[in-house]
Amino acid sequence: MKVLITGGAGYIGSLLCELLLRNKFHVTIVDNFAYSENSLSNIVHYKKLDILKTDFRNFKNYKKSLSQSDVIIPLAGMVGAPLCNQNPHEALSINKNNQKKLFKLISKNQIILMPTTNSAYGTNTKGICDENSNLNPISTYAKHKVDVEKALMKQKNWVSLRLATVFGISPRMRTDLLVNDFVQRAFFDKFIVLFESHFKRNYIHVRDVCRVFLHCIENLDRCNNNIFNVGLSSANLSKLELCKEIKKQIDFEIILNEIKKDPDQRNYIVSNKKIEKTGFKAKYSIQDGISELINGYKCLKFKKYSNI
């Protein structure tokens, strides 16, 4: 089976490609290596790996590979609200317009596994958000993802994975993700300043994200043409609760700032029961991730590894 992954050298992609190659898939990576990363150095020896260095928007540069792929996973994107706010025109082109153009180039027999986001729930304090809950995207990033998901649903074979906030170590590290950022601040600075500490969200380890893509490929009969929340059911945590989890492994000070507003106003609890009923369950806990991040920060400084 042939899988084409745009953004395959990124935070999720670099680990996902390794997992697929270990499971005997043929993998084609389309990436422009915008962050000068060497995140694929541990997998270049695989004979079933093709790497195409190009912006995914230059469709003519990988037209043949695209047409020959059984599964397409569009990971390329400007990820996160702050980055999209800094570069609104690029965000529109990359995260919305050209994702929809990519869909039009895919035949009805090809499968699209699309990462979307559960930040599309915005602020929802009335109950637990499942896949039928109303969407209330606040950030430009979330709004683009909602629009792309609507276009995706017009395809023949598709899965939308509304990912929780991802955490954990990756060859193309991102320190701007909330758990990764909080652990870094606790480890190096010994304090964290919290705005609107009661705001809740769900979390998922980056390796579990990779596992869910593989799960969908291997269980397409149960997953096809569906939207799934993907997160840790044990980790619907407020920012203060997250800090208390970190405090179990690092001694640091939590400073509550009740005046300043969080620029990211999302606040919700998410149900992951639908994906769990297909046989998938996240296996890496928040504590596993914190421990892993501490070990990473002991030997490496990831300050340059951020999308902002």
Output the six-digit token pair for 308: 């902002």
Domain count, the chain: 1
pLDDT band at 83 (very low <50, low <70, confident <90, very high): confident
Q: Is residue 59 part of a domain?
A: yes
Asked if the model's pLDDT at residue 184 lies above 70, the reply is: yes
Sign for the pseudo-dihedral over CA of 274, 105, 79, 284? positive
Output the six-digit token pair for 209: 């994200």
For residues 95, 96, 101 and 107, what is the CA-based torsion angle, rounded to 10 degrees? 80
pLDDT band at 306 (very low <50, low <70, confident <90, very high): low
Q: Is residue 163 part of a domain?
A: yes
Mean pLDDT, residues 69-85: 91
Asked if the model's pLDDT at residue 32 lies above 60, the reply is: yes
Report the alpha-carbon distance of residue 292 to residue 205 in Å, rounded.
11
In angstroms, what CA-CA distances link 231 with 37, 78, 140, 206? 27, 21, 22, 10
- CATH at residue 81: 3.40.50.720
pLDDT confidence of residue 304: 60
Report the alpha-carbon distance of residue 236 to residue 249 in Å, rounded.
19
In angstroms, what CA-CA distances link 49 with 22, 171, 192, 199? 11, 17, 42, 42
Q: Is residue 25 part of a domain?
A: yes
Q: Is residue 256 part of a domain?
A: no
pLDDT band at 307 (very low <50, low <70, confident <90, very high): low
pLDDT band at 9 (very low <50, low <70, confident <90, very high): very high
Asked if the model's pLDDT at residue 37 lies above 90, the reply is: no
Q: Is residue 96 part of a domain?
A: yes
Q: Is residue 308 part of a domain?
A: no
Q: Is residue 290 part of a domain?
A: no
Query: By residue range, what is the domain housing residue 65?
Result: 2-167+203-232+270-283
Q: Is residue 10 part of a domain?
A: yes
Report the alpha-carbon distance of residue 142 to residue 245 in Å, rounded.
27
Output the six-digit token pair for 77: 């994107």
Asked if the model's pLDDT at residue 95 lies above 90, the reply is: yes
- 258-296 per-position pLDDT tens digit: 887 776 778 999 999 999 999 999 999 999 999 999 999
Global pTM reads 0.95
